[in-house]
């Protein structure tokens, strides 16, 4: 049944390709000097989802100067998708670039390239591609979803950047030596903020089930702060180590 399904898919893709592309071969009694190359192997490889063969046979179609524009676009698109599945992101993006140089009106290609930029970690380029896809097709559901989720992600990152290297308390009002030390060290400041945020979350979750449980957890945090304040400055006290141990305990790391 699976074999019949794959054959059926290959036939469909072949028919669609033939319908959209110019004739693969010239007809008539006299041979045509400008004989077009046959896209069928690339079509079959794409229908079979055979990434290795797609790269080979569709690549040959891309490299052949006699390949018709429509066939070149489809071969590049198939190879780009194969590269993407093989995590060869830069090569996939390069193929999508080539497609858009040939025809810049493909919303699907902008969206696909945007997903690769996002995977690569280049959020601004990803957002630009999703936006371009939506401008070409305002009802493109995948591009709209991608744009919305990425915009929200960038908003959250912006909020995080606003508090990066800042502790949970106001350094302008810090009086204790340990607080001033935390404010002066970005790593310690981030640790303090993470400890405070995790403690607030855990106390809140525990309180919903039991006020007593919430008070117990908050008391543990208060005791940590008291030990930190009292221990700071002593020769045997390592503030960074104490803060990391506290965060690990809140996160349930190392058997806690």
Per-residue pLDDT reduced to its tens digit, 197-252: 888 888 888 888 888 998 999 999 999 999 999 999 999 999 999 999 999 888 87
pLDDT above 80: residue 95: yes
Tokens of 44: 């079959």
pLDDT at site 70: 92
- Structure confidence at residue 176 (pLDDT): 93
Q: What is the pLDDT of residue 27?
A: 40
Contact 64, 38 (CB under 8 A): no
Share of the chain above pLDDT 90, in %: 52
The pLDDT of residue 5 is 35
Is the CB of residue 54 less than 8 Å from the CB of residue 78? yes
Predicted local confidence at residue 30, as pLDDT: 47
CATH domain 106-163 topology? 1.25.40
d(CA 80, CA 89): 9
In this predicted structure, what is the pLDDT of residue 1? 41
Determine the pLDDT at residue 29. 41
Split at pLDDT 50, 70, 90, the class of 17 is very low
Average pLDDT over residues 101-125: 93
The beta strands (E) that lie in the chain are given as none
Query: Please, which residues have CB within 8 angstroms of residue 254's CB and are 6 or more apart in sequence?
Result: 248
Q: Which residues contact 64 (CB under 8 A, 6 or more apart)?
A: 37
CA dist., res. 173 & res. 177, Å (int): 12
**pLDDT tens across 156-195, in order?**
766 656 667 788 888 988 999 999 999 999 999 989 988 9
Helix (H), strand (E), coil (C) string for 87-105: CCHHHHHHHHHHHHHHCCC
Of 8-22, 134-148, 167-181, the poorest mean pLDDT is in 8-22
Burial class (CB in 10 A: 0-12, 13-18, 19+), 47: buried
- pLDDT at residue 160, rounded to an integer: 59
* Model confidence at 91: pLDDT above 70: yes
Locate CATH 1.25.40 in the chain: 106-163
Q: At residue 144, does pLDDT exceed 80? A: yes
> 34 phi and psi, to 5 degrees?
-105, 60
CA–CA separation, 182 vs 187, rounded Å?
Answer: 8
């Amino acid at each position: 049944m699976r074999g019949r399904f794959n054959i059926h898919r290959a036939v469909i893709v072949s028919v669609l390709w033939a319908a959209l592309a110019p004739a693969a071969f010239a007809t008539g009694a006299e041979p045509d000097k400008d004989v077009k190359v046959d896209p069928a192997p690339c079509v079959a490889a794409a229908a079979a989802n055979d990434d290795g063969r797609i790269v080979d046979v569709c690549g040959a179609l891309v490299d052949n100067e006699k390949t018709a524009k429509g066939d070149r676009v489809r071969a590049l698109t198939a190879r780009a998708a194969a590269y993407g599945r093989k995590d060869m992101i830069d090569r996939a993006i390069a193929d999508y670039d080539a497609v858009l140089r040939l025809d810049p009106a493909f919303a699907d290609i902008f969206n696909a390239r945007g997903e690769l930029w996002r995977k690569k970690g280049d959020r601004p380029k990803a957002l630009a591609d999703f936006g371009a896809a939506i401008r070409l097709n305002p009802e493109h559901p995948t591009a709209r979803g991608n744009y919305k989720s990425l915009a929200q992600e960038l908003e959250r990152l912006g909020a995080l950047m606003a508090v990066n290297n800042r502790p949970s308390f106001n350094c302008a009002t810090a009086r204790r030596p340990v607080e001033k030390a935390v404010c002066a060290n970005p790593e310690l400041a981030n640790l303090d903020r993470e400890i405070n945020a995790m403690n607030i979350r855990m106390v809140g979750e525990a309180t919903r089930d039991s006020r007593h449980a919430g008070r117990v957890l908050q008391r543990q945090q208060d005791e940590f702060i008291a030990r930190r304040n009292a221990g700071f400055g002593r020769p045997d006290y390592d503030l960074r180590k104490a803060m990391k141990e506290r965060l690990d305990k809140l996160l349930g790391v190392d058997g806690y």
